[in-house]
Amino acid sequence: MDTIVALGTPAGRSAIGVIRLSGPDSLSIVRSIVGDNHFKPPPSRSVLRSIRSNASDSILDRALLTYFPAPNSYTGDDVVEISCHGSPVIMRQVVDLTLRLGARPAGPGEFTLRALSNGKLNLSQAEAIRDLINAQTEAAAQQALGQMMGELSSRLQGPQQELIQTIVELESALEFVEDDLPGLRKQNIAGELAGVATVLLSLASTFEVGHLLRDGLRVTIVGRPNVGKSSLFNMLLAAERAIVTEVPGTTRDTLTERISLGGVPITLTDTAGVRDSTDRIESRGVERTRQAMAEADLLVVVIDGSEDLGAEDLSVLTLASSARHVIAINKSDVPAFDILEKSRSSFVTRSVNVSAVTGSGLDTLRAAILEPFGSVDSSNSGFLITDARHYDLLLRARAEVQASVDLLQGGVSEELVLVGLYNGLRFLGQITGETTNDEILSQIFATFCIGK
């Protein structure tokens, strides 16, 4: 096995930059760069040393070195972490030095892949580490952390055990013909397997909310000019702690920011954008609604409740009616709002009254934004499936188990019933990586960042 190297911290300037080596030559490479053939720091303790390209050269940096001897390291290999000063120049030189001494640049997720093959963690835990690093909200990080600690695998253990026990029972019934299962026992087994199918379905159903936590929602505010889109946008931004990630592809015409609503990362776009100087504004609300509909998971249609509905409001409402949307009737602080409320009701059903000036109704609006995207099944006590791969495998496993239940109840031979049980077990095994082939593994690890 070779020795891999990568930056463990982001490239660029920082106070400290960590370079990580993993593999059998880690210690000997580090001995060369500190110029001490007997260098052997105590396990998991940091030691300060000078780093040089050659014994005769001047020093490159003073760095803290931490040695994690196999198998007590993240990867399970010999690992050395070099904490240098976070200068891109220094880090580049140190990495180059390790490469010259025989290390190889690590691929995406390769450290975690090694941890997986050394049995330090299972596949769903490895994926959780990736998700933890990528988490955009506290709630998403919390879910990833639970999965990293093995929560998904432990929840799968029950169903896996039941499938194995049933397989053993059916196999032995086949083996010893005289032990043919009595009808009553078959009914009991069918009942137990139906229970397994229900557990798997209930776990899978948490994906509806779980994937939102991880991937978030795109919410776009539309409406004719001057209804208060920008004011509402700013109000939502100010109240929710902004998420500090870059939003790619922000156009000049729109303003996009990230916020967190109930732990769900929301990419919020205000289509008011740049004002049209030529005053051809009457059709822009409609035009932008049309564009936004293609890209958003949900539209917030804003209407000015202090004025009569105009033709353009009605066009926007009509357009939005074919997309998932929430209607926010703004300016509820203006006295005319209440007077006009009755005349609006024939056009506007299921709406939220808000004021972007006083903030009234904003909580209701937030809840209304999340409401169409499902609620959590409380039987799973907060645990959520966040990964589409896991969701898919759970559904497949459940379908196989359910098919076996149907066959069993239909009096079909045990041999056929067993096929579904073996398949179900295999799909569950793919979640934790017990039965995952190399091709799938390399696809999954391609989604990791380098250095993890």
Q: How far apart are CA 196 and CA 398, in angstroms?
A: 8
With CA atoms as reference, report the closest residue to 267 among 339, 318, 208, 218.
218
Looking up tokens 């870059």 gives: 246
Q: Tell me if residue 291 falls in helix, strand or coil.
A: helix
Query: Is residue 302 a contact partner of residue 368, using CB atoms and an 8 Å limit?
Result: no
We find the least distance from the C-beta atom of residue 229 to ligand GDP, in angstroms, to be: 3
Is residue 230 near ligand GDP by the rule CB under 6 A?
A: yes
Q: How far apart are CA 375 and CA 181, in angstroms?
A: 42
Judged by beta carbon, residue 317 or residue 421, the one nearer ligand GDP is 317
We find the least distance from the C-beta atom of residue 363 to ligand GDP, in angstroms, to be: 15
110 Cβ contact partners less than 8 Å away, ≥ 6 residues apart: 4, 6, 445, 450
Looking at 17-25, 116-124, 314-322, 354-362, which segment touches ligand GDP (CB under 6 A)?
A: 354-362
Is residue 255 near ligand GDP by the rule CB under 6 A?
A: no
Is residue 202 near ligand GDP by the rule CB under 6 A?
A: no
- Single residue of 226, 380, 409, 435 touching ligand GDP by CB under 6 A: 226
Indicate the residue whose CB is closest to ligand GDP: 228
Looking at 19-27, 100-108, 219-227, 419-427, which segment touches ligand GDP (CB under 6 A)?
A: 219-227
Judged by beta carbon, residue 227 or residue 292, the one nearer ligand GDP is 227
Assign residue 43 a region: left if phi > 0, alpha if psi is -120 to 50, beta otherwise? Answer: beta
Looking at 151-159, 310-318, 331-339, 422-430, which segment touches ligand GDP (CB under 6 A)?
A: 331-339
Judged by beta carbon, residue 217 or residue 362, the one nearer ligand GDP is 362
Count of residues near ligand GDP by CB under 6 A: 16
- Single residue of 186, 258, 331, 366 touching ligand GDP by CB under 6 A: 331
Looking up tokens 């040695």 gives: 67
Looking at 37-45, 218-226, 378-386, 397-405, which segment touches ligand GDP (CB under 6 A)?
A: 218-226
Q: How far apart are CA 304 and CA 335, in angstroms?
A: 12
We find the least distance from the C-beta atom of residue 334 to ligand GDP, in angstroms, to be: 5
We find the least distance from the C-beta atom of residue 318 to ligand GDP, in angstroms, to be: 18
Is residue 361 near ligand GDP by the rule CB under 6 A?
A: no
Q: Tell me if residue 188 falls in helix, strand or coil.
A: helix
- Single residue of 112, 160, 267, 330 touching ligand GDP by CB under 6 A: 330
We find the least distance from the C-beta atom of residue 254 to ligand GDP, in angstroms, to be: 11
With CA atoms as reference, report the closest residue to 301 among 218, 235, 373, 229.
229
395 alpha-carbon distance from chain centroid: 19
We find the least distance from the C-beta atom of residue 393 to ligand GDP, in angstroms, to be: 45
Looking at 7-15, 183-191, 222-230, 252-260, which segment touches ligand GDP (CB under 6 A)?
A: 222-230
- Single residue of 113, 227, 309, 417 touching ligand GDP by CB under 6 A: 227
What are residue 48's DSSP bridge partners?
64
Q: Tell me if residue 435 falls in helix, strand or coil.
A: coil
What are residue 4's DSSP bridge partners?
22, 104
Q: For residue 71, say if its preceding peptide bond is cis, omega within 30 degrees of 0.
A: yes
The size of the chain, in residues, is: 452
CA torsion through residues 284, 285, 291, 295, sign: positive
Q: How far apart are CA 183 and CA 409, in angstroms?
A: 10
- Single residue of 145, 323, 334, 340 touching ligand GDP by CB under 6 A: 334
Q: Which residues in this chain contact ligand GDP in the complex, by CB under 6 A? A: 223, 225-231, 272, 330-331, 333-334, 355-357
